[in-house]
A and B are shown apart, each in its own frame.
Chain A
Amino acid sequence: MIKIRDLEKIYRTEEVETVALNKISIDVKEGEFVAIMGPSGCGKSTLLNILGLLDDPDNGSFLFNNIEVANFNERKRADLRKHNIGFVFQSFNLIDELTVFENVELPLIYTGVKSGDRKKRVEEVLDKMQIMHRRNHYPQQLSGGQQQRVAVARAVVNNPKLILADEPTGNLDSSNGNEVMTLLTDLNEQGTTIIMVTHSEHDARYSHRIIRMLDGQTVLENIMV
């Protein structure tokens, strides 16, 4: 599903040049659950952003479902993104002005799903995430675990092939964290590819494979048994 080769990303300020990704190559197959680990600043979030088509690489190749996307413009990237990729963030990133229902509905709006269908699908996914009873609440009224469940609901509502999770349990206590990890595992079992950046060895154990990064490069891959 994902095939990147010799991918480079360099951040430049006036005085400093930081190499975030240094000719990195990774493959991810459809249906895999991959965890990316490494110390702060090793480039894992940059990698995730490029995989999520939120950022573009400076050099190298990125095949997404066998399509070269490294040189896509913003509109094309947005188009590909909204139909294929869901995101889960450490800090949930829900819009405070929208209710639970409306937050989850958002991706459907941008993919042009009709209002009736939207309602059905949002309700389905809220039900699945067991957060239906909170549909009319605002994010501030929810606990962290509930917020992250809403964020996961939002990430999956479009039935994406790929979910990118950036430290999804980082802001949660252990029981809420486990709940979210179970949700992700369930999704993976139903066929969704998951790539997750994490600091937690515990969380990483939920994955099939761990990619360890250092200074913009992969240093080790562990296959989980």
Chain B
Amino acid sequence: MLKNYFKIAFRNLWRHRVFSFINIMGLTVGMTACLLIFLYVRFELSYDTFHPKADRIYRMVTDLKTPSETIHPSGPAWAVGPHLQFDLPEVEAFTRVNYDNLLVRKGDIKFNETGTIWADSAFFSIFNFPLLKGDVRTALVQPFSIVLSETAAKKYFGKQDPMGQTLLVTGEGKPALVTGVMKDMPENTLIKSDVVMSITTITQKFWKGLDDEWGSYGALTYVLLKPGTYAQTLQKKLPAFLEKWNGKEMRSSQMFPTLLLEPLKDVYLKSTRDDSKGNMMNVYVFSIIALFILVIACINFINLTTARASERAKEVGIRKVAGAVRSQLARQFIGESVIICLIAFLLTLGFSSLLLSSFNQLAGKIISTGIFSNISLLFLLLGIALIIGLLAGIYPAFILSAFKPIMVLKGRFATGAKGSILRKSLVITQFAISTALIIGTIIVYSQMKFMRSRDLGFNKDQVLVVETNGDNKRETLQKLVANLPNVKSTTLSGSVPGGGHQGAYSQVENAKGDLQIANLDLYFVDFDYIPLYDIKMAAGRPFDRTYKTDSNNAMILNEAAVKILGYSSPAQAIGRRFKQWGHEGQIIGVIKDFNYHSLQSPIKPLTMRMEWDRFRLLSVKVNPTNVQTTITAIEKLFRTTIPNRPFSYYFMDEFFDRQYRSEERFGRLFLNFAALAIFISCLGLLGLASYSTMQRTREIGIRKVMGASVSNIINLLSKEFLKLVIISFFIAAPVAWYFMNKWLLDFAYRTSISWWIFAAAGTLAVLIALLTISLQAFKAAIANPVKSLRTE
């Protein structure tokens, strides 16, 4: 019997090739999109879940309450980690993970290892980053111990054994001993790095006493809890712990930290801290999109199958007469849809494999190296395909198997009004989803455009930034570069917009005349920074070479800082006192607010000061002509002036825009999947339209004989479907508005959702639908009526 079913199924598929193609193609495209999204979501959810002890690992973060605000430094104080074990028996081990750029050299091979980790000795026992060589327990104990990834080891040592060899690190070229080689860290960890150095290098050599430093924040601390310990138990003890070690200092500095534990598995997607790179919202959005696409594909299937039910009716009748009962027929039809799904599944595997590398590119990371690398995943997908087949097949099977044989065999069969209402609502659902996705895409893109084109309050054009890593020859380099023909001006600084910066414990005189304590963002800049970046003054003056005190005792605030200090106008802040990191003096100027972070976040209070030994970046304003020649000239000067460091530079505008990379990726993914959704919906519409046209061939013939023109006919056939598309628009618009408004709330500076977006999306949906339908309608309309009347 099964053989008979298969035979019928395949012959049916072949006989109705166009419908089969639409069905299989729709399902394949839908399933491919789903599979790729599934891989993406699975990857996003897999971050740091591969550590066997992951359930016991927590990241410790801190909130810091100052009299001015509550801030969220990237990590707690440096002293927290080392002191945990004294008082808190729940803690089995801890490691701080501090990211830094490290200059690493071996002979002529030199790299600026961005994202080098400084870590405590328990690093490799807490996390599952296996060492291929070296001892997990001792690799990071001694100062100047360095552990390299396989890739890094190859980079510096080629085929030689790196163990026991030395590398020169930092600008001074201190020797560091290679004590381990680790397997390359996987892509799905937030801790990713190629170089791990013992943190004792800092705490015992560079900055002795840092282990007891309660006022220096930013030491990301991970703790491993003892088995059977609850995080809440530890969490409750943390205030007392801080009070015991840090209470006095907290009160005198008026900086009150709280320590919070984040489960390691949640850090990537759910952490409220800036440095967590994932976004749960995206995971939700794409999961929903995947589901939508699948629903659309299934709807096609159901619609086309039920629409064509009358063609199968005769077969149902004959089979029933020959002795088949309803359940047997239902099984047959479900079996057919399962076969279609399995064909689509096989095609999906092929398509996904082909598309995976471009999808990786689109997603900006290697979410999967191959569809076939994971057998259990394949079985899962196969299961899903079968379920889709089952779900999509159940309704048509139910309808088809219910036909009464005497009715259908006598040809007294009409597709019921019920079925057509269902098909219409399903088409509306499809187009509502598609239209909502079009609206979403337009909004995402207009927000992107808004962010790129918005006046940021500074000029990022034609500025080249050279990384000097604070080398002590940087001023020499600056002077030489300034003399190059196509260089307009230069400036040295610690930070540039869009990059990292310090946050400093500061005391600044407020409107009442008190020294208000606040943790303020801090830019170290030289005299030429404000003019080079074209930052506007709101009051006072920029740093000026003619004032000797400017180098040490002058501070510039932005308008946001002026506001939290309680001044009603920037001018009032001029001449007021400040104390910051051992420097004190007067406010000499107030700059207008500029966006030094991406437009997701509001402009924060910022201070600017000059401290020559904090400068590390050389910004160069260049002539737009012959930029490449200028770069080559700068590189040449760099190589002769600072030979020990690798030359690296970036363009300010690209550097700033890289902050929008994840939004851009989001937008691109959104666009692609929206296009897919529309494509699948149109496939379905095409199928339905061609079917409905086929059914009305006779009617069209009669109408033409009666004098209907081609356009009358097209109009007749298109109207029915266009109505549905228009209804779907009115469902999609408010829903899309609601969700996209929510999405936009994530941005401190955002575009408004204007009416034209809806108009454009609606028009687009209607046009696409019209094009799809009218192809069929036109074919029917130009047909010779004599022929169409003969179809009876």
Contact = CB atoms under 8 A, between A and B. Distances in A.
The answer to whether A and B assemble together is yes
Contacts of A83: 323
A210 B324 CA distance: 32
Nearest to B10: A97
Contacts of A91: 409, 411
Which of B15, B314, B325, B326 neighbours the largest number of chain A CB atoms within 10 Å of its CB? B325
Contact of B323 (A82, A96, A102): A82
B320 A97 contact: no
Interface in B312-362: 314-315, 317-326, 328
A106 interface: yes
A154 B15 contact: no
B318 A78 contact: no
Contact of A93 (B11, B314, B326, B328): B314
A127 interface: no
B323 A81 contact: yes
B12 interface: yes
Nearest to B2: A109
Interface string B231-253: 00000000000000000000000
Contact of B4 (A52, A79, A102, A111): A102
Nearest to B12: A97
A94 B12 CA distance: 14
A33 interface: no
A167 B556 CA distance: 103
B1 interface: yes
Given A54-B404, A97-B12, 7 more contacts: A54-B320, A81-B321, A91-B411, A96-B15, A102-B4, A106-B4, A111-B323
Interface in B11-47: 11-12, 15
Interface string A100-121: 0010011101110000000000
A153 to B, nearest CB: 12
B325 A75 contact: yes
A49 interface: yes
B7 A102 contact: yes
Given A93-B317, A109-B1, A82 B406 contact: no
Contacts of A79: 323
A98 B8 contact: yes
B410 interface: yes
Interface string A75-89: 100110111000101
B405 interface: yes
A74 B325 contact: yes
Which of A75, A79, A82 neighbours the largest number of chain B CB atoms within 10 Å of its CB? A82
B322 A106 contact: yes
Contacts of B404: 54-55
A95 B318 contact: yes
A198 interface: no
Contacts of A192: none
A60 B319 CA distance: 28
A92 to B, nearest CB: 10
Contacts of A93: 314, 317-318, 321, 409
Given A55-B406, A97-B11, A74 B323 contact: no
B7 A98 contact: yes
Contacts of B7: 97-98, 102
B159 to A, nearest CB: 65
Contacts of B4: 102, 105-106, 109
A106 B318 contact: yes
Contacts of A87: 321
A54 B11 contact: no
Interface of B: 1, 4, 7-8, 11-12, 15, 314-315, 317-326, 328, 404-406, 409-411
B315 A95 contact: yes
A6 B196 CA distance: 96
Contacts of B320: 54, 78
A45 interface: yes
Nearest to B5: A109
A82 B11 contact: no
Contacts of A95: 8, 314-315, 318-319
B409 A89 contact: yes
Nearest to B321: A87
A111 B325 CA distance: 11
Contacts of A82: 322-323
Interface string A37-52: 0000000010001001
Contact of A78 (B315, B317, B323): B323
A96 to B, nearest CB: 8
Which of B4, B319, B323 neighbours the largest number of chain A CB atoms within 10 Å of its CB? B323
Contacts, number: 68
Nearest to B411: A91
Contacts of B12: 97
Contacts of B315: 95, 97
A107 B8 contact: no
B675 to A, nearest CB: 36
B12 to A, nearest CB: 6
Nearest to A151: B318
14 contacts: A49-B406, A54-B405, A54-B406, A55-B406, A78-B323, A78-B324, A97-B7, A97-B15, A98-B7, A102-B7, A106-B322, A110-B319, A110-B322, A110-B324
A89 B318 CA distance: 10
Contacts of A105: 4
A106 B5 CA distance: 11
A139 to B, nearest CB: 11
Contacts of B319: 95, 106, 110
Nearest to A82: B323
B332 to A, nearest CB: 11
B326 A110 contact: no
A83 B323 CA distance: 8
A54 B321 contact: yes
Contacts of B406: 45, 49, 54-55
B360 to A, nearest CB: 43
A12 to B, nearest CB: 15
A106 B317 CA distance: 13
A74 B322 contact: no
A145 B7 CA distance: 26
B325 A107 contact: no
A110 B15 contact: no
Which of A78, A81, A94, A154 neighbours the largest number of chain B CB atoms within 10 Å of its CB? A78
Contacts of A74: 325-326
Nearest to B408: A93
Which of B318, B328, B405 neighbours the largest number of chain A CB atoms within 10 Å of its CB? B318
Contacts of B409: 89, 91, 93
7 A-B pairs with least C-beta separation: A82-B323, A110-B323, A97-B11, A107-B322, A49-B406, A106-B322, A78-B325
A48 to B, nearest CB: 9
A102 B8 CA distance: 10
Contacts of B11: 97-98
Which of A45, A52, A83, A98 neighbours the largest number of chain B CB atoms within 10 Å of its CB? A98
Given A78-B323, A109-B4, A111-B323, A94 B405 contact: no
B653 to A, nearest CB: 64
A105 B319 CA distance: 11
B318 A94 contact: yes
A181 to B, nearest CB: 21
Nearest to A106: B322
Contact of A110 (B8, B317, B328): B328
Nearest to B319: A106
Interface in A182-213: none
A3 B4 CA distance: 37
A87 B405 CA distance: 12
A43 B776 CA distance: 42
A91 B410 CA distance: 9
Contacts of A81: 321, 323
B9 to A, nearest CB: 9
A139 B321 CA distance: 18
Which of B12, B321, B324, B409 neighbours the largest number of chain A CB atoms within 10 Å of its CB? B321
Contacts of A94: 318
Contacts of A45: 406, 410
